[in-house]
Chains A and B, each alone.
Chain A
Amino acid sequence: MSTDWNALDTETFRAQVRDFFEREYPQELRYPKRRLRWAEIRDWTLKLADHGWLAPSWPTRYGGMGLAPEKLIAFIEEQERHGVARAPDMGISMVGPLLIQHGSDAQRVQYLPRILSCENIWCQGYSEPNSGSDLASLRTEAVEDGDDFIVNGQKTWTTLAQDATHIFLLVRTDKTAKKQEGISFLLADMKTPGITVRPIRNIAGHEDFCEVFLENVRVPRSQRVGELNKGWTIAKALLSFERIFLGSPKQSQYALARVREAAELLGLFDDAVFTDRYTQLALDVADLGTLYTRFVEQVKRGETLGPDVSMLKIFATETYSRLANLLVDVAGSSGGTPGDIDLDGNHIDVLTTFYNARPATIYGGSNEIQRNILATNVLQLAG
């Protein structure tokens, strides 16, 4: 089933995608309040896989939809619009593109079909306890031993590692080189002896991410992707235009609607001070949408995104965070109550938004790192 989606005009394609989501996506999973576990999202993910829609950005020869940027944006916008949850997608968004570009034929044959069939669920082993924003300082070590690497160290903030069958790792293979130049990229089966996963409970009470301990883990040399000590380069090259989705206005639009709903129930729009605060944020959300469109148009024209796209992530997540603050404020004395608050029979959850807003300004490169990038690479200020 290989349809040339790019031959359709975007609106026709968009309508088909929307229709499929509306028909097939489970109603109760729309706009989930937290990251869904594999058991919860499995059926839907398999349905997408059966339909051939699991890997919209992969080339068709590898089983993807081969969508051109404009179509891919429409696909993702429709997902966001319908509130379709994000499945564990590290295999689709990271491992697949990586292997297609830098993997060996054997690696492609071994892994790509299993990603598409959902047999393999991947997680990302990048961050370490002492290597967060300064990722290149990572210390998990891989030493060559016969046909294997022996890996020792610890990864952390590994999203949904407890549901993953495989992990891709950045490991140090040369301790003497400059920090970016001694890193290699390895693929490992989570069942390999020596790998231990410990979920981390977050302030919302969920276990979205984990610590992964690696103790004398033997990874065959055949599982290295790309050249030895070139792992940093290929990991960085993975930063595709999909970065703009970190700056999507959808989350903020959704939060703004929740604020409005709560404020209407509580009659807050009679208060001029509140209305002004609300409108300020409504304008921020509207202008965020316009800025986002500007970057989307750039991608659609086939241009590469520059470092200036960082501003979109900053403004999107900080707008979202301000909305979360307002939502807690609107709830007044109920602002410290987790879960649904009963407002005259209407239920509003304020703290979920507040909790979700916290990591938003941290992940994907914290907003402070994004500001450093903009200062150095866009404003040409001294590094």
Chain B
Amino acid sequence: MSAVISDPDRLQQLDMLRSSALAFTVKESPLSRARALRAKPPGFDLRFWNALASQGWTGLLVPESAGGYGQGFAEMAEVTTALAGQVAPEPVTPVLVFAGRVLQACARNETAQRLLAELAQGRALPAVAWQEDTSGAAGFDAVGGLAEPATVCARQGQSLTLRGGKRHVRPGAAATGYVVSASSTEGLVLVWVPAQSTGLTKTSERLADGTYAARLAFDSIELPASHLLAAGASAETALAGAYDEALVFTGVELLAVSRRMLAMTLEYLRTRKQFGKLIGSFQSLQHRAVDMLIQQELSDAVVAQAIAELDRGCGGDERALLAARVKSRCSEAALMIGRESVQLHGAIGVTDDCDLGLYLQRALVLSAWLGNARMQRGRFASMCRQLAPTTEATA
């Protein structure tokens, strides 16, 4: 990412973090590791997760008061970029950003506080469960916000009862529990459902990149009232904020994936010969490569802006619009760069042996997750219509 940050000390620290994160991931997470973990539940390596915890990366975004390092989004983005660049299958954005940030927003609740501390240590792997339908379209309301869930939570005295189901939950296996969104008489609630809860049925579905997403069914799960993490406006704020941040970090991952696909393709264009010439000397291929570059750099520009804005504390509609832009751009760009990369590689590009495929499959998963480009466009349009009529031009 190109830096929007101007403080020289922080830039220097970010440079150092970038180098050490790259050195670590290249050494400890070669592509052979990602390749070997595919389609073998849970689809990632819990020991490697512990190694991330030893690096301090699981606690990077967690405040020091909860046992973390209280670093910014820019720092988290460096780590996320390094891991995504190696197609590491560990659920960094789902657990550390999406779930971690929901829990942090609910930290007045003791359960959330405890979970956040365990997450920082690498011991808890919470997942957020909020979508309910196959395409995910029902997850959004008419004005581009997060829709009221069909899952219902009823409170009786000191006990909660949860009924309903969720889809597209990442990580789809090995999560230690779920932050579930539900409707209640208090409005939206966020409820902690431990993975071993009675009445919880989990079905893992394999995704294109060999990781998993879960489908959850809640058959009148009984939970203590202490598992009610947030209710009403505070639950909405917590989920919406973490959702936007997860969109931006999915964009960070997609950008890293795009960069690697374009780099691999350029390397191929610079070495592969046909008709006695380097194929990279052919103008039609050069121009296609340039169009890939432009999409990569647009992604880079919006991601860098979004990370800087998140660090600045941007919120509300401004954050939501920016996050939708990031997810839309980075999803489209990664899929375009992935398809073009395969074409420019020729037949070798469609073989499982070619590492390009690892990235393309990851791009498919990430671009679909949390609402694809089309849905983000729809949300962006709805949000703009709600706001001032000139929003598009200035957003």
Contact = CB atoms under 8 A, between A and B. Distances in A.
B51 interface: no
A376 B280 CA distance: 10
A257 B381 contact: no
Which one of A278, A286, A382 has the highest number of Cβ atoms from chain B below 10 Å of its Cβ? A286
Interface stretch (B118-126, B189-197, B230-238, B300-308): B300-308
A161 interface: no
Contacts of A383: 281
13 contacts: A282-B381, A285-B393, A286-B392, A287-B301, A287-B302, A290-B301, A290-B302, A311-B297, A375-B283, A375-B290, A379-B266, A381-B281, A382-B277
Interface in B237-290: 266, 269-270, 277-278, 280-281, 283, 286-287, 289-290
A381 B280 contact: yes
Contacts of A314: 290, 294
Given A382-B270, A382-B278, A290 B286 contact: no
Interface stretch (A108-116, A126-134, A324-332, A366-374): A366-374
B377 A279 contact: yes
Contacts of A372: 283, 286
B380 interface: yes
B298 interface: yes
B304 A294 contact: yes
A69 B309 CA distance: 25
B392 A381 contact: no
A304 interface: no
B393 A287 contact: no
B377 A276 contact: yes
Contact of B270 (A291, A293, A380): A380
A285 B392 contact: yes
A379 B268 CA distance: 12
Interface of B: 2, 4, 266, 269-270, 277-278, 280-281, 283, 286-287, 289-291, 293-294, 297-298, 301-302, 304-305, 325, 328-329, 374, 377-378, 380-381, 384-385, 389-390, 392-393, 395
B305 A290 contact: yes
A68 B337 CA distance: 38
Contacts of B277: 382
Interface in A270-329: 275-276, 278-280, 282-283, 285-288, 290-291, 293-294, 297, 308, 311, 314-315
A256 interface: yes
A382 B392 contact: no
Contacts of B280: 375, 381-382
A378 interface: yes
A266 to B, nearest CB: 16
A256 B289 contact: no
Contacts of B269: 381
B289 A379 contact: yes
Contacts of A286: 325, 392-393, 395
Given A290-B305, A375-B283, 13 more contacts: A253-B393, A260-B389, A269-B385, A276-B378, A287-B301, A290-B301, A290-B302, A311-B293, A314-B294, A375-B290, A378-B293, A379-B290, A381-B281
B301 A381 contact: no
B294 A283 contact: no
A338 B360 CA distance: 46
Contact of B266 (A257, A275, A285, A381): A381
Which one of B277, B281, B297 has the highest number of Cβ atoms from chain A below 10 Å of its Cβ? B297
B328 A283 contact: yes
A332 B286 CA distance: 36
Contact of B329 (A260, A278, A287, A382): A287
B298 A315 contact: yes
B289 to A, nearest CB: 6
A291 B297 CA distance: 8
Interface in A164-200: none
A278 B393 CA distance: 12
A368 B290 CA distance: 10
Given A372-B283, A381-B269, A383-B281, A294 B290 contact: no
B286 A379 contact: yes
Which 3 A-B residue pairings sit nearest by Cβ, starting from the closest?
A: A375-B286, A382-B281, A282-B392
A290 B392 CA distance: 13
Which one of A269, A368, A372, A382 has the highest number of Cβ atoms from chain B below 10 Å of its Cβ? A382
A91 B134 CA distance: 62
A278 B199 CA distance: 46
A287 B286 contact: no
A294 B4 CA distance: 8
A378 B328 CA distance: 26
A259 to B, nearest CB: 10
Contacts of A275: 381
A239 B162 CA distance: 66
B393 A257 contact: yes
B377 A381 contact: no
Given A279-B377, A380-B266, A291 B298 contact: yes
B287 A279 contact: no
Contacts of B390: 257
Contacts of B393: 253, 256-257, 285-286
Nearest to B392: A282
A110 B51 CA distance: 73
A375 B289 contact: yes
Nearest to A295: B301
A274 to B, nearest CB: 11
A196 B391 CA distance: 50
Given A256-B392, A290-B301, A375-B290, A279 B270 contact: no
A287 B266 contact: no
Contacts of B328: 283
A283 B286 contact: no
Which one of B4, B270, B294 has the highest number of Cβ atoms from chain A below 10 Å of its Cβ? B294
Contacts of A382: 270, 277-278, 280-281
A204 B392 CA distance: 29
Contacts of A269: 385
B298 to A, nearest CB: 5
B137 to A, nearest CB: 12
A376 to B, nearest CB: 8
A378 B263 CA distance: 12
Given A257-B393, A279-B380, A283-B328, A311 B290 contact: yes
Nearest to B385: A269
A294 B299 CA distance: 12
A83 B304 CA distance: 30
Which one of B277, B281, B293 has the highest number of Cβ atoms from chain A below 10 Å of its Cβ? B293
Contacts of A260: 389, 392
